[in-house]
Structure 1
Amino acid sequence: MYDQPKLSELIRFAGIDAGSTVIDVYPGDGDWTRLFSDVKSDSVSRMRALAKEPGRENVEAVSADLVAMPEVTQPADVLWLHLFYHDLHAALIEARDATAADFNRVVYERLKSGGSYVIVDHAAAAGAGTRDAQSLHRIDPASVREEVEAAGFVLEAESAMLANKDDAHSVKVFDPTIKGETDRLAYRFVKP
């Protein structure tokens, strides 16, 4: 997780406010979901337990295939994707006959007009495309932008708040020499 100033800045960057409906894809332990809930898996049961915590009545836990979102979620103001976009190019997703293009199309369908698609992920070296998605858990920011714009989104903002010019982009993100300090892209796309 990030320090408090970066957490606050990321939430502001995402455009999440008290009335926002947010889809948090692949929420892990639910840290971001808790933060988003305050503004207003490992296992699905964990998210359902989180939704039952006092003060979390605004959380609904849904488990669904990534491209089945339209059938199980209401239209949202923001779709948050934190350190996961590169996985859309990993063997696990490809084995399910899903693609990044399919996922981006579904996100487009799920967002309200004017809604935001926020992506934060580990950056790969410029020109790497999706080559390092499986091996290093990184993706070239230019590839993310190209794929998301192809689904009809418009890049509204990008932030360098998580950039790390000292990251050589050549080691796996879990390597102790870089873990937690990778160079990261932060994009906010909007559905026109």
Structure 2
Amino acid sequence: MKRLMGLAGMAVLLVAAAPADVLNAPGRPDAMVALDAGRKPAEVLAHSLIKPGARVMDVMAGQGYYTELLARHVGPKGRVIAIEPVNYMEDPKTAEAWAALQKRNRNVELVVGAPGEAAMPEKLDAAFYHLTYHDLYWQSEKFKYPRTDVDAYNARLFAALKPGGVVLIIDHYGVPGMDSRAQADKTHRIDADVVKADMTRAGFRFAGSVPILEIAGDDPTKLVFDPSLRGKTNRFYYRFVKP
């Protein structure tokens, strides 16, 4: 209990000390800034255990919302490797957005490919999954997204992280006990206990849950892209450490 309270107290201090330029980065798109209220990035980063100078992998980074914030957070001596599926980069607007992001943040590297197929970066201090871990159980011919062998992928992840490295997973709470692939396909959610079991099986140690993104009123049977729920889902934030 004392250790948990110590971590919580440290996180509060880190939130208070978070530099303004992490969130108010020059050139950061207005569309990204507008998402801050619901995503609470200052608190997420404060609880992340990621330090300046870290080498971080951002998995299925979308349009780079957290890639940019992580890049600012780790600073010029750190590096962020964003993993982006092929179909995302086929959109010219997304490709342009990434080019602009990398111009603003010279410590960002972009790797194009589905997580299960892209080369795994080496000597990582952290891996970050923002609403994307469930996609390891998803597959789609339409979106050129192949099936992933989750255990094999997590074994590669374990090998890639340095001892003491951290894996951060934020995802939508799903229906407990529901088949993970069916749930990922139907609602893009996941049973939180499946995540714990996956990571434990891979050799990681659970390092606490941070409840800052948990909210009441969400229906775990609904698709996360439902207009009535989008951006308002009940989300878990788990941390895992490589011993």
TM-score computed with the length of structure 1 as normaliser: 0.88
After the TM superposition, which residues 10-89 of structure 1 pair with which residues of structure 2 at under 5 Å, given as runs? 10-39=44-73, 40=75, 41=84, 42-43=88-89, 45=95, 46-53=97-104, 56-68=105-117, 71=119, 73-89=121-137
Per the alignment, in what secondary structure is the counterpart of residue 109 of structure 1? helix
Looking at structure 1, the residues matched to 216 and 43 of structure 2 have their Cα atoms a distance apart, in angstroms, of: 20
- Does the 8 Å contact 2:58/2:66 carry over to 1? yes
CA RMSD of aligned residues (A): 2.3
Aligned residues: 189
Partner deviation per Cα, 1:45-96 (whole Å, 9 max, x = no partner): 443542222xx22112222442355x55231111001111111111239x73
- Does the 8 Å contact 1:67/1:106 carry over to 2? no
Evaluate the alpha carbon distance shift between residue 47 and residue 72 of structure 1 in structure 2; reply closer, same or farther with a 3 A threshold: farther
Instruction: Specify which of 110, 134, 138 is matched with residue 189 of structure 2.
Output: 138
Q: Which runs of 5+ in 2 are unaligned?
A: 1-34, 76-83
Partner deviation per Cα, 1:103-134 (whole Å, 9 max, x = no partner): 21111111111000111111112333514111
Equivalence for 2:155: 105
Instruction: Specify which of 8, 32, 36 is matched with residue 42 of structure 2.
Output: 8
Per the alignment, in what secondary structure is the counterpart of residue 168 of structure 1? coil
Structure 1 position 128 matched with structure 2 position 178: yes
Q: Which runs of at least 4 in structure 1 moved beyond 4 Å after TM superposition?
A: none
Looking at structure 2, the residues matched to 5 and 108 of structure 1 have their Cα atoms a distance apart, in angstroms, of: 27
Q: Which structure ranks higher in relative contact order (CA pairs < 8 Å, sequence separation ≥ 6)?
A: 1
- Does the 8 Å contact 1:14/1:78 carry over to 2? no
Q: Mark the structure with the bigger radius of gyration.
A: 2
Per the alignment, in what secondary structure is the counterpart of residue 157 of structure 1? strand
Looking at structure 2, the residues matched to 67 and 48 of structure 1 have their Cα atoms a distance apart, in angstroms, of: 24
Per the alignment, in what secondary structure is the counterpart of residue 14 of structure 1? coil
Structure 1 position 165 matched with structure 2 position 165: no
Say which structure is richer in helix.
2
Per the alignment, in what secondary structure is the counterpart of residue 178 of structure 1? coil
Q: Which runs of 5+ in 1 are unaligned?
A: none
TM-score computed with the length of structure 2 as normaliser: 0.70
Q: Which amino acid counterpart does residue 155 of structure 1 have in structure 2?
A: F
Indicate the larger mover: 170-179 or 122-131.
122-131
